[in-house]
Amino acid sequence: MEATILPEVTAAGVIIKAVLILAVISAIAGFGTFIERKILAFMQRRLGPMHVGPHGLLQLAADGIKLFTKEDIIPQHANKVVFAVAPAITAATAFIALAAVPVFPDFTIPFVDIYVPSIASDINVGILFVLGMMAAGLYGPLLAGMAQANKWGIIGSARTAIQFLSYEVITGLSILAPIMMVGSLSFVDFNNYQTDGLWMVVYQPVAFVLFIIAGFAETNRTPFDLLEHEAEVISGYATEYSGMRWGMFFIGEYANMITIGVIAAVVFLGGYNDFWIFPGWLMIIAKIAFSFFFMLWVRAAWPHVRPDQLMWLCWKVLMPLAVINVIITGIVMMLV
Amino acid sequence: MYEVIAFYIFAISTTILFLITVMSKNVLYAMTALAAGMVMISGFFFLLGADFLGVVQLIVYVGAVMALYAFAMMFFDATKDIKEKHQNPALVFLLGGLMALVFVVMFSAPIIGENVQALYPIVDGVGNAQAVGMVLFTKYLVPFEVAAVMLLVAMIAGIILAGKKMDYSLTECEVSDQELEDEILKGEAK
């Protein structure tokens, strides 16, 4: 691929990009709830939301109105400042993580001639930054659970700390093998590495599976959604939350799902390269959409796991596999 | 221009957050402020162009170390204030005075040492991670290896401390259902 000269990235372009990410991803989070309910319903032979609008399509407007107008309750003995800040941490870290990944194709706004880049902030350690920001995201559930003076909340935040800390190890180790092959931490280099050759998933199938499993745990999706396991801990860290504060946890979770989808697409599934007759921007949206759908599919197909099974899976199965994968990758790279 | 504004924002917020950490009597406030202060410190690394170290600061301190502190705090009631006991005010005074002296020396050091220069300046065309790796595996190889051995020792010690009854499952009861039933019946008979 010949190097195309890109226009200069200006401050205005970055700000427009940031607003665009914030608006579109928030909207997708709202729309995602509808899609999730519909897909789950069809997989479980139900109809899902049907009454509001055609096929329940206006349900998301109704949900939005409900969330915005619901009374914002802060429990009497809660630590009010931390209780109020915690949902913002979840949403903010999720969106900050999205600043360093390629989300939409780059384009130039006509007439005013402002170039909007594909990556809001193209730092050369992009992958580590995204993983670090998602790691910082654990403070949302953690502080929420500890601030609300509720036993279920404490259990929820204890589970948050265990689950996120454990599965960060898997995410880091699984993505280390592709990083060794590419020799860079930049998403752009990962994309260019797969321009001519095969997708990374062909070379690193084990790392891909490990990353997806850890991604489910880090986004708190169903086989591993122990943080707010209704049957055991009511709603875990979110027990005392209502209205838009709860909605911010939700938006953060959906934004994290999209981030995991983007990392999986760029690192393992060929990135935003053109494929056959399909242009690159369509390919990456299709890949992210598939990851999103896959998460819903798994939710419909698999039950929850117990906390001890979660830890067993992490430390006795996934971590040894990830370490062995890294070692084998290193040996093969030395010999070849 | 932007960098100066960003530096002052980071500097002021770091100072305020760490002051809250020291002054607050509430565990939860102290911990939250410490974690937020760690995030702000990583901002300085980004400002200096050391992206890699900034990210490492985020992952290690914010993601791991502070989360472990938080985990330890689950054992306290985080919503209550803590009453601090000052058993030896003279010691507190002495330590505080020494800290103040160290601060004065630290702040005046750049004024005295005008000839401070970077030994390993940023090389063009070499990424941040590569630069750190080169220094780590050439000049600082021995400290690096010693640190690795120390971490290994800590890991083994952790496994030994936590490893009691590791082969014993908490959920699968070793007593069979029949035995359990007998026990209950015995208890009822008494």
Q: What confidence tens digit (pLDDT) does each residue in A115-133 have?
A: 777 777 777 788 888 888 8
> Quick one: B175 and B148 in the same domain?
yes
Give strand pairing partners of A275.
A278
How many CA atoms lie less than 13 Å away from B147 in the CB half-sphere? 7
Q: Are residues B5 and B24 in the same domain?
A: yes
Confidence at residue A51, expressed as pLDDT on a 0 to 100 scale: 84
Same domain, B95 and B48: no
**pLDDT tens profile B122-143:** 666 667 777 888 888 888 899 9
Looking at mean pLDDT, say which of A57-61, A64-68, A122-126, B101-105 comes out highest. Answer: B101-105
Residue range A286-291: mean pLDDT, rounded: 87
Residue B121 has pLDDT above 70, yes or no: no
* B135 belongs to a structural domain: no
Res A2 pLDDT > 50: no
Residue in A135, A136, A154 closest to B74 by CB: A154
Query: How far lies A164's CA from each of A139, A148, A159, A181, in Å?
Result: 10, 20, 8, 26
Residue B8 or A149, more confident: B8
pLDDT for residue B174: 58
Q: Are residues B2 and B58 part of one domain? A: yes
Residue A180 clears pLDDT 70, i.e. is over it: yes
Inter-helix orientation angle A205-218/A151-182, to 10°: 160
Name residue, tokens 């209550």.
B80
Kindly give the residue spans of alpha helices, DSSP state H, lying in B48-140. 51-57, 66-73, 89-112, 128-138
Asked whether residue B24 falls in the same domain as residue B93, the answer is no
pLDDT in tens, B99-113: 999 988 888 877 776
- pLDDT for the residue B177: 62
Instruction: Please check the confidence at residue B79 and state whether its pLDDT lies above 90.
Output: no
CA dist A94 and A297 (Å) reads 23
Tens of pLDDT, residues A226-244: 777 777 777 778 888 888 8
Residues B37-44, mean pLDDT to the nearest whole number = 89
Instruction: Say if residue B98 is in the same domain as residue B115.
Output: yes
Residue B134 maps to a domain: no
| Within-domain flag for B171 | yes
Residues B54 and B112 occupy one common structural domain: no
Chain A nearest-CA distance from B136, in A, is 17
Q: Is the per-residue pLDDT at A3 higher than 50? A: no
Q: How many domains does chain B have?
A: 3
pLDDT over 50 at B84, yes or no: yes
**Domain definitions of chain A by residue range:** 80-101+121-335
Residue A125 to chain B, least CA–CA distance (Å): 6
pTM: 0.82
Question: Which of A108-117, A316-325, B88-97 comes out lowest in average pLDDT?
Answer: A108-117
Q: What is the CATH number of the domain that holds B47?
A: 1.20.120.1200
The answer to whether residues B60 and A133 touch, using CB atoms and an 8 Å cutoff, is no
Structure-token match 């791991």, residue found:
B64
A328: confidence class by pLDDT, cuts 50, 70, 90 = very high
Name the residue type at position A103: V
Specify whether the CB–CB gap between A200 and A263 falls below 8 A.
no
Cβ of B74 under 8 Å from any chain A Cβ?
yes
**What is the average pLDDT across A78-89?**
86
Is B154 among the domain residues?
A: yes
Q: Closest to A132 (Cβ–Cβ): which among B55, B70, B127?
A: B55
CA distance B52 to chain A (A): 6
**What backbone phi and psi angles, to 5 degrees, belong to A116?**
-105, 115
Instruction: In whole angstroms, give the CA distance from residue B44 to residue B40.
Output: 7
In which domain, by residue range, is B187 found?
140-190
- Are residue B2 and residue B40 in the same domain, yes or no? yes
A104/A13 Cα distance (integer angstroms): 13
Domain assignment of residue B22, yes or no: yes
Structural contact between residues A220 and A254, judged by C-beta atoms closer than 8 angstroms: no
Mean pLDDT, rounded, for B14-25: 89
CB contact under 8 A, A135 and B63: yes
Indicate whether B5 and B77 sit together in one domain. yes
Average pLDDT over residues B3-14: 90
Specify which of A204-218, A221-235, B70-84, B171-185 reaches the highest per-range mean pLDDT.
A204-218
Mapping DSSP to helix (H, G, I), strand (E, B) and coil, where does residue B169 land? coil
Whether residue A143 is predicted with pLDDT greater than 60 in this model: the reply is yes
- Is B64 at the interface with chain A, CB within 8 A? yes
* Domain shared by B89 and B72, yes or no: no
Q: Do residues B144 and B179 share a domain?
A: yes
pLDDT in tens, B46-60: 888 788 888 888 888
Which of B38, B55, B123, B172 to mutate to test binding with chain A, by most A CBs within 10 Å of its CB? B55
Helix axes A280-301, A11-43, angle to 10 degrees: 40
Task: Based on the fold, state whether residues B61 and B108 are members of the same structural domain.
Answer: no
Choice between A274 and B104, residue whose per-residue pLDDT is larger: B104
